[in-house]
């Protein structure tokens, strides 16, 4: 149980770090800051998000959860894929500032959905 709690807290901390760093980079993007090109802004998200994904997989294995037997896990995975696409549009692939800003807001809404699903263990957290 102690091992599980440590892993769960690590996962939650990494999720918060990932979201906070995304908000930070989104702010830099909106301001047109050259800091967005800084090495730490390019490397840190990959390190944090890789650790987050590894902790998620390890938690799922530890708890014997899979998308097939836990619809909320499937919802989180689908939302994560959407979040990644929206995030890349927001930070670097959007052709205009307006497109990047819209993608940023959509990515943050998706991030909020992922957190709500994780807390409620329900793919429709607003119903439950």
> CB neighbours of 100 closer than 8 A, spacing ≥ 6?
29, 30, 89, 90, 91, 94
The C-alpha atoms of residue 23 and residue 97 are separated, in whole angstroms, by: 16
Give the tens place of pLDDT for each residue, 9-36: 999 999 999 999 999 999 999 999 999 9
What is the residue range of 26's domain?
A: 2-127
- pLDDT band with cut points at 50, 70 and 90 for residue 128: low
Give the tens place of pLDDT for each residue, 64-111: 999 999 999 999 999 999 999 999 999 999 999 999 999 999 999 999
Q: What is the CA radius of gyration of the chain?
A: 16
CA 41 vs CA 45, 68, 94, 103: distances in Å: 7, 36, 18, 19
Which tokens belong to 10?
């690590």
Note the pTM of the prediction, 2 decimals: 0.94
Number of domains in the chain: 1
């Amino acid at each position: 149980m102690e091992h599980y709690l440590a892993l769960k807290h690590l996962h939650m901390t990494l999720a918060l770090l990932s979201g906070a760093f995304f908000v930070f980079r989104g702010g830099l993007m909106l301001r047109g800051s050259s800091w967005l090109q800084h090495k730490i802004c390019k490397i840190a998200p990959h390190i944090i998000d890789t650790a987050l994904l590894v902790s998620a997989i390890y938690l799922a294995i530890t708890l014997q959860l899979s998308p097939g037997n836990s619809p909320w896990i499937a919802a989180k995975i689908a939302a994560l894929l959407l979040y990644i696409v929206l995030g890349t549009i927001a930070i670097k692939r959007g052709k205009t500032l307006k497109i990047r800003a819209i993608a940023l807001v959509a990515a943050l809404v998706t991030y909020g959905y992922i957190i709500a699903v994780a807390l409620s263990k329900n793919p429709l957290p607003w119903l439950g």
